[in-house]
Structure 1
Amino acid sequence: MLYIILALISGCLVILSMVINSYLAKKIGVFQGTFVNYTVGLLFTTLILVFKNEFANLSMSALSHIPFWAYLGGVIGVMVVVISNIIIPKIPAIYSTLLIFIGQLFTGLFIDHFTGNLISKGKIIGGFLIIAGLMYNFNVDKKQIAKNEQ
């Protein structure tokens, strides 16, 4: 149960982070905002490592044994922040949240498929139901906007 609660909190923090980062990006620029985001994150992580006294676990020999592809998470993280900084101000938060969720859902299914994990028809159908609901909601909003403009 604890992990479910932590996952929900993480989801809330991701959306909150995206909104805050996009505001920062509007004020100082997309890449500048991304730089500030990662600089503050680095400082915060450094403080945690110092207070927990865990710098000893971070040696060059340990880092050299990690495969190259494992470092791509940082590159992907930067791309996520940059893309979020671009899209959040352009489309409503609910649409960007759902679209990002759909991307995560189908990427998870793709990864599960290639790592041999179980993929049920229900997961696939659920993903398509979310897409259908998003499209339906988009059309309802579009009609409402057109009606309000008359």
Structure 2
Amino acid sequence: MISSILIALSGGVAVGMSRSINGRLTMDRGAFCASFWNHFIGFLLLTVFVFIFARQGLALLVDVPGWAFTGGIIGAIFVAISSYVFPRIGANRSALLIIGGQMIAGLLIDHLRGTAQFHIGQPAGVALILSGIYLTRYSR
């Protein structure tokens, strides 16, 4: 359990670093160009990983429903959006807003799929996150 928590925290650090670096590239080349290079380099790295280490290659695509690939489209949009906003509103506010959006989306997805018990603490937690975002924006 502890190792999973540390890995998740490391993933969060990686996202923050990646968005900051892409934000800098966005300032020089634009959000879509930064997003392109982010995904192209990631594609190269993952291609090597899949073909060398997974040893399944293109067999990974068998029996996968087409809609399952829309995550890549959403991911590309996320990278372009975050690359655009990070240099404009800062890493802290961007990260908080992204987390707030993830919490709202998570609540909606769980509710629509019926995969989690809904209780008042969940929207209250999201409200606290959004309040924190407000405080970081308007308190000096």
The normalised TM-score by structure 2 is: 0.89
Q: Which residue of 1 aligns with 2:58?
A: 58
CA radius of gyration, larger in: 1
Range 25-34 or range 93-102, more displaced: 25-34
Q: 1:139 to 1:56 in 2, by over 3 A?
A: closer
Corresponding residue for residue 148 of structure 1: none
Aligned counterpart, 1:145: none
Q: Is 1:125–2:124 an aligned residue pair? A: yes
Residue 39 of structure 2: aligned partner:
38
* SS in structure 2 of the partner of residue 118 of structure 1: coil
Q: C-alpha displacement at 1:64, in angstroms? A: 4.7
Q: Distance in 2 between matches of 1:18 and 1:5?
A: 20
How many pairs does the alignment contain?
A: 138
Q: RMSD in angstroms over aligned alpha carbons? A: 1.6
The Cα shift of 1:120 comes to 2.6
Q: TM-score, normalised by structure 1?
A: 0.84
Q: Which amino acid aligns with 2:98?
A: I
Classify 1:30/1:40 alpha carbon distance in 2 versus 1 (closer, same or farther; 3 Å).
same
When residues 112 and 104 of structure 1 are mapped into structure 2, their CA distance, relative to the original with a 3 A threshold, is same
Distance 1:51 1:105 in 2: 36
1:20-40 superposed Cα distances (whole Å, 9 cap, x missing partner): 111112122222211111111
Instruction: Give 4+ residue runs of structure 1 displaced > 3 Å after superposition.
Output: none
For 2:72 and 2:33, locate their aligned partners in 1 and report how far apart those are by CA, in whole Å: 17
Question: Which residue in the other structure is 1:87 paired with?
Answer: 85
Q: Any idea what SS the aligned residue of 2:87 has? A: coil
Within a 5 Å distance, the mapping from 1:132-143 to structure 2 comes to: 132-141=131-140
Structure-2 residue corresponding to 1:29: 30
Q: How many angstroms apart in 1 are the aligned matches of 2:135 and 2:37? A: 37
- Matching residue's letter, 2:91: A
